[in-house]
Amino acid sequence: MSELSSAWFPLRYHEKQCAAWRTQARFLLLACGRRSGKTLLAKRRVVRYLPIQKPWRDPMYFYAMPTYGQCKRVAWDDIVALIPPRWIAKKSESELCVRTIFGSSLWLCGLDNPARIEGSGWDGGVVDESSDIKPGAWGRSIRPALSDRNGWAWRIGVPKRFGVGAVEFRRACEEAAAGKLPDHEFYTWPSSDVLPDYEIASAARELDARDFAEQYGATWQEIGGRIFYAFDDVQNVTDRAQFVGGRRIIVGCDFNVDPMCWVVGHAASDGLVVFDEIFMRDANTQRALDELDRRYNQPQPYAFGWDFIGDASSRARKTSAAMSDYMIIKNDKRFLNSRVFFPEANPPVADRFAACNALACNALGKRRWLVNPRCKRLREDVRVRAYAQGTREPDDKNPDVGHMSDAVGYVIHRLWPVVIDLSGEPGAAVGGMM
């Protein structure tokens, strides 16, 4: 320890920081308040591993942030200052890399292009500002790169409502906190554990309650302007939402390629029961049908009928495919007694959202849209999907957000639309069937 520079000190004792430092877990998630010491701890953690010998000659570590510019501006000088000069064999600011006399190297990686971290076997690293990391970067680029060498990783950040990776980071933190992720630990602490009282009081005066609770209190806040405000993740979620043989199966389809999102349910006496979901990466309609067949047509085809419901955009033939998505479904003979419904034109998005909220909880307090707890993607989507600030347009910058709730919305608007008859004349259903 005598070699370590003065940049390492002083550090005050903090119980949870000490527990995080001493963890034996391979993966650690820290969702902590702003300026609460999580980044200081993480930078020291990755530097601490540089002199540790491995069976191979070239141990490699990374410190990753959302962009290359952030790495250079925020992390480079601090990390170089933490490395004892005697350890450094070579450093390159243009590459953002430090090579050591031990054969190890530390790279700063911007994840604006997640491919930067691929192609190498990493021994460990830190992902900072995790709420702003592109969705899918962890699962498709970072985690696989740790497999060859059984590498470790810390994922750290403020528990933000907004941010392109906020949904994914929150999901990982909640699952780790609940003990659902093997080899993971989760810690959280507020800024008030570290910052002086006057700074906390100043921030409290300047920020609204939710921003303060998020940025300094390190607590997850519900997003303002929620689109599906009537859906409650406790009251609308129940184990009673189950598959029942003898009823037609309803499949709501969003035909996005990545992800492909379908919901699976029944029409109950006066509402919708969603008992399953299909979420697939880099998929197509045929792959989704294969998965549906595997789940519900085995060991013999389900004979009580299927209703497939989606949006209007997938009716048209495409130059990239021999048939439209609906024709692929209609021509799949594995699904007995199937019907394919589509609207002639997409309804206003506001009408679809209104129908969903009315079914989730009407003015009498009745909840007619029930969801099985296993439908985690759907539940998450309706919880986090919100309007862009100051508009009535969905804020769907996260490419994973919106598709699952659209899939269920097509079903609800088709079967339980909100109809306000001002003329007294009976209305006509809009749509088509194949």
Q: Residues 231-262, buried b or exposed e (16+ Cβ, 10 A)? A: beeeebbeeebebeeeeebbbbbbbbeebbbb
Do 47 and 127 fall into the same domain?
Answer: yes
Q: How many domains does the chain have?
A: 2
Inside any domain, residue 226: no
Do 194 and 307 fall into the same domain?
Answer: no
CATH of the domain at 362: 3.30.420.280
Do 84 and 156 fall into the same domain?
Answer: yes
Do 146 and 275 fall into the same domain?
Answer: no
Inside any domain, residue 301: yes
Tell me, yes or no, if the pTM score tops 0.75. no
Do 269 and 394 fall into the same domain?
Answer: yes
Inside any domain, residue 124: yes
Do 17 and 145 fall into the same domain?
Answer: yes
Do 255 and 172 fall into the same domain?
Answer: no
CATH of the domain at 137: 3.40.50.300
Encode the chain (434 residues) as per-residue pLDDT tens digits: 445 554 554 556 789 999 999 999 999 999 999 989 999 999 999 999 999 999 999 999 999 999 999 999 989 999 999 999 999 999 999 999 999 999 999 999 999 988 889 888 999 999 999 999 988 899 999 999 999 999 999 999 999 887 888 889 999 999 999 999 999 999 999 999 989 999 999 888 877 787 888 899 999 887 667 899 899 999 999 999 999 999 999 999 998 888 899 999 999 888 999 999 999 998 899 999 999 999 999 999 999 999 999 988 655 444 333 358 889 999 999 999 999 998 777 778 888 998 999 999 987 889 999 999 999 999 999 998 988 776 778 888 788 889 999 999 999 999 998 865 444 443 333 334 45
Domain span at residue 312 reads: 249-433
Of 191, 215, 239, the residue at which a domain comes to its end is 215
Q: In whole angstroms, give the CA distance from residue 141 to residue 114.
A: 6
Distances (CA, A) of 18 to 42, 45, 78, 205: 12, 12, 21, 31
Omega before residue 259 within 30° of 0, cis: yes
Do 288 and 168 fall into the same domain?
Answer: no
Nearest to 255 by CA among 376, 181, 342, 368: 342
Do 266 and 341 fall into the same domain?
Answer: yes
Inside any domain, residue 243: no
Of 189, 215, 241, the residue at which a domain comes to its end is 215
Do 393 and 286 fall into the same domain?
Answer: yes
Inside any domain, residue 224: no
